[in-house]
């Protein structure tokens, strides 16, 4: 007998049925519905589908986060290049990357030519105009041939001090994006 079937005994017999007939055989009546096993199977399938959807949304979200971060970095690089081309403040402009701490930062800065020329100077070779904190679940890495931690654009021409490849990677290393600056000053991602 399943959970959804009830057994009527002789003392609870409905009108019109003799008690002796119930004594000889059981009177059973089915109630329509789902068994416990069927309900558990449906719940299990639902939870599996929910789990797959949540994982997909997490992946989509991290992909969007890295895309937003790459766009912001490109905008700061383009701003530095535009300031250098316009020779704003009669100076070169650049972007400095601080990736040594617990959280990565990059700064739009005006180049101090004396600091830039000093081979022993370590740090941002100029005055920061704005700072940008990288999302905490994204890591920045600078790859060769960029030997310094800054990209500096020349006055008037807007050409960088070298080719730069800036890699953005999510903390779980599932998504990455490269921002490149070539020797002609083209900025891509």
| 3 state SS for 89-115 | HHCCEEEEEECCCCCCEEEEEEECHHH
- Which helix (H) or strand (E) segment holds residue 27: the answer is strand 27-30
Opening angle at CA 165, ends 114 and 140, nearest 5? 90
CA dist 128 and 111 (Å) reads 9
Please tell me whether the overall predicted TM-score, pTM, comes out greater than 0.85 for this model. no
Instruction: Summarize pLDDT for 106-145 with one digit per residue, the tens.
Output: 999 999 998 888 888 888 889 999 999 998 889 888 876 4
Greatest mean pLDDT among 7-11, 27-31, 87-91: 87-91
CA dist 169 and 178 (Å) reads 9
- Nearest of 75, 76, 70 to residue 95 by alpha carbon: 76
Instruction: Summarize pLDDT for 29-38 with one digit per residue, the tens.
Output: 555 678 889 8
CA dist 140 and 79 (Å) reads 19
């Amino acid at each position: 007998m399943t959970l959804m079937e009830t057994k009527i005994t002789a003392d609870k017999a409905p009108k019109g049925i003799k008690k002796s007939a119930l004594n000889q055989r059981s009177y059973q009546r089915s109630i329509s519905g789902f068994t416990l096993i069927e309900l558990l199977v449906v719940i299990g399938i639902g939870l599996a589908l929910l789990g797959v959807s949540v994982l997909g949304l997490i992946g989509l979200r991290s992909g969007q986060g890295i895309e937003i971060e790459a766009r912001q970095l490109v905008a700061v690089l383009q701003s530095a290049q535009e300031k250098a081309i316009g020779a704003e403040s009669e100076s070169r402009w650049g972007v400095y990357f601080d990736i040594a701490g617990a959280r990565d930062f990059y700064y739009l800065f005006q180049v101090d030519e004396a600091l830039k020329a000093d081979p022993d100077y370590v740090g941002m070779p100029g005055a920061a105009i704005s700072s940008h904190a990288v999302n905490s679940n994204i890591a920045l890495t600078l790859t060769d041939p960029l030997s310094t931690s800054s990209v500096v654009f020349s006055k008037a021409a807007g050409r960088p001090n070298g080719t730069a490849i800036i890699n953005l990677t999510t903390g779980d290393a599932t998504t990455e994006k490269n921002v490149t600056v070539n020797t002609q000053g083209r900025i891509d991602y």
